[in-house]
A = this chain, B = another copy of it.
Amino acid sequence: MDKFDLFSPLDYRYLSGGLRKRAEIYLSENARVHYQAKVEAALVRALSRQGVCSKKIALEVEKAAFNIRAEEVYAEEARIKHDVRALANVLRSKVSAQAKPFVHFSATSYDIVDTASAVRYKEAVLELVVPQLRRLLNIWIKIALREKKTLQIGRTHGQHAEPITFGFAMASHVNRLGKAISNMEYCAQKLEGKCSGAVGGYNASSILVKNPRKLEKDVMDELGLVSALHSTQIVPPESLLDLLHSTIEAFTVLANFSDDMRHLQRSEIAEIAESFGSDQVGSSTMPHKRNPINFENVKSLWKKFMPLMNTFYMDAISEHQRDLTNSASARFIPELFVALVVSSERLEKVCSNLVVDRAAMMANFDSSRESVVAEPLYLLLAKHGHTDAHEAVRQITLKAKEKGKTVFETASQTNGVMELIQKFSRPELELLKNPESYIGLCVEKTEEVCDYWKKRPK
C-alpha cells in the first residue's frame, strides 16, 4: 500500500508522525470501531447490573471488545452488508456460547453508533483538540505579554487609524480563541447518548429488563455521557451540532489570525514574518521569495472545512424516527477535527518562531504620526467647548495635506481652533506632540486578557 495512492490530503499529506498517532486514537476508522465496541461492552455491563446476565459474561464481552479491530468487522460486513451487526457478530464470535445472546442485547445499531460517536468526539475534543488549541493559546499569550508595549499603528479598513500595541492586537486573538476553547469544552460535555432502541420508545428493552431507563442511564454513566431526554432511533442532533459549530468557530479564529499575519507580512508592511529554514525555497522561480505559506495554508483549510456546517444542518433533518441520509456524510466528521488540529499545530510551530519586527512597526506608525493626531485633537476641541469639532478637524486635515503642513501646525493657525488649543492642559498638548503615547489602556487590557485566559481552569 502506497500512501500516495490515496485521495485525501489529510491521509497522505497533512499529518506528521506525532500528531497522526495522537489523532488516530480518536479519529481513525479503527477508533470508530474501538469506541463502538466499548459501547457494546458498556451495554453488557449495564445488563449485568440489572441481573440480565452475569458479571462474568460482562467481563468476557469487555475483554473481547478491547482488542477488536476494524479489519475483522469489515470482513464480516462484506458478507452481511450491515456494519453494526457485523461488529456484533465479530464480538459474538469471540465469546462463549453463554455470552453470545447478550451481545448487543436489546440494542439497535444507532444506540451503539450515536453513543459511540458522542464518547469518541467528547474524548477527541477534550483530550486531543482542546489541549492542542491550548498550546497555541499559550504561545499567543506569551507573545501578547512580551509585546504588550510594542507600538503598532491600529488599522481599520486597511487604513491607519489610531495607535495600539502589538500585544494588544494579539490579545484580541487570545480572547477569541480562549472563548472558542471554552465553548468547545462546554459543548463536548453536553454530548448525549441513547439506549432507547429502534424507534426510541424502549420497545425492546421494555420486554427484556426491569428498568429500561435505568439501563440507559447505566450505560451512559459507564461512558461519562448524559442521556438524551428524548431520542428516536437516533440522538437528537443538536448536541453534536453545537459542538461542530463551536469547532468551526475556533477554526475561524485561527483563520482570522492567519489573515492578519499574512497582511502584516506584506512587503510594504513587513512587521511580521514566518521564520524561514536555511534550506527552504520560497519560490520555484524567484529565489528571493519568503512567503507566508503556513498562514496561507491555515486559511485555505478553513475555506475547505467551514462550509461543512451546511452539511451538518442538512443532516440534522431526518425523516420520522430517522432516515439514513446522514450516515455517509457523518463518517467525514472526524476530518473536521483533524483539520483543526493540523492547523493549530502548524500555527503553534510558526508562532513559536514568529519574527516580530519592532522597528518596522515603529516606522509604519511614524508614517501616520501626523494624521493620528486628528482624533485626539477633535476630542480635545470638543471637550474644550468647540461645537462642531469633528467637522473643523476634518477641514484641517484636508488643508494640512494640501499645504504639506502638520495637522497640529495647521490647527494652531486656524481661527476658532487656535484659541481653544491655548486652553489645552500640558498633558493634552504633550499628547498631540507625542502621539505614540495615545494608546489608551492597551497595555493594561493586554495584561487583563492574558491573565484571564491563563487562569481559566481546565
In the complex the two chains form, is B4's CB within 8 Å of A71's CB?
Answer: yes
Residues of B within 8 A of A60 (CB): none
Interface contact A321-B161, CB-CB below 8 Å: yes
How far apart sit A435 and B33, CA to CA, in the bound complex (Å)? 34
Q: Residue A293 at the B interface, CB < 8 A?
A: yes
- Counting CB contacts under 8 A, is A132 at the interface? no
Q: Do A30 and B5 touch (CB < 8 A)?
A: yes
> For residues 278 through 321 of chain A, which have their beta carbon under 8 Å from a beta carbon of chain B?
279-293, 296-297, 299-301, 303-304, 306-311, 313-321
Chain B residues with CB under 8 Å of A80's CB are: 279-281
Residues of A contacting B: mostly: helix
Interchain CB contact under 8 A, A379 and B159:
no
- Residues on B with beta carbons closer than 8 Å to the beta carbon of A332: 8-9, 304
A380 within 8 A of B: yes
Determine which of B27, B233, B379 lies in contact with A204 in the assembled complex, contact meaning CB atoms within 8 Å.
B379
Q: Bound state CA distance, A264 and B445, in angstroms? A: 32
How many A residues touch B, CB cutoff 8 Å?
193
Structural contact, B10 and A8, CB atoms closer than 8 A: yes
Residues A201 and B154 in contact, CB atoms below 8 Å apart:
yes
**B364 and A158 within 8 A (CB):** no
A371: interface (CB < 8 Å): yes
Q: A9 touches which one: B156, B205, B331 (CB < 8 A)?
A: B331
> Is the Cβ of A154 less than 8 Å from the Cβ of B263?
no
A284 with B88: in contact, given A199-B164, A320-B155, A332-B9 (CB under 8 Å)? Answer: yes
Which of these binds chain B: A104-112, A115-123, A133-141, A348-356? Answer: A104-112
Q: Does A85 contact B (CB under 8 A)?
A: yes
Contacts of A142 in B (CB 8 A): none
Q: 8 Å CB contacts to B: which residues of A312-358?
A: 313-332, 334-335, 338
Query: 6 A-B Cβ contacts within 8 A?
Result: A82-B280, A172-B231, A202-B441, A203-B438, A266-B268, A296-B327
The 5 closest A-B pairs by CB, nearest first: A154-B199, A8-B8, A4-B70, A300-B328, A157-B291
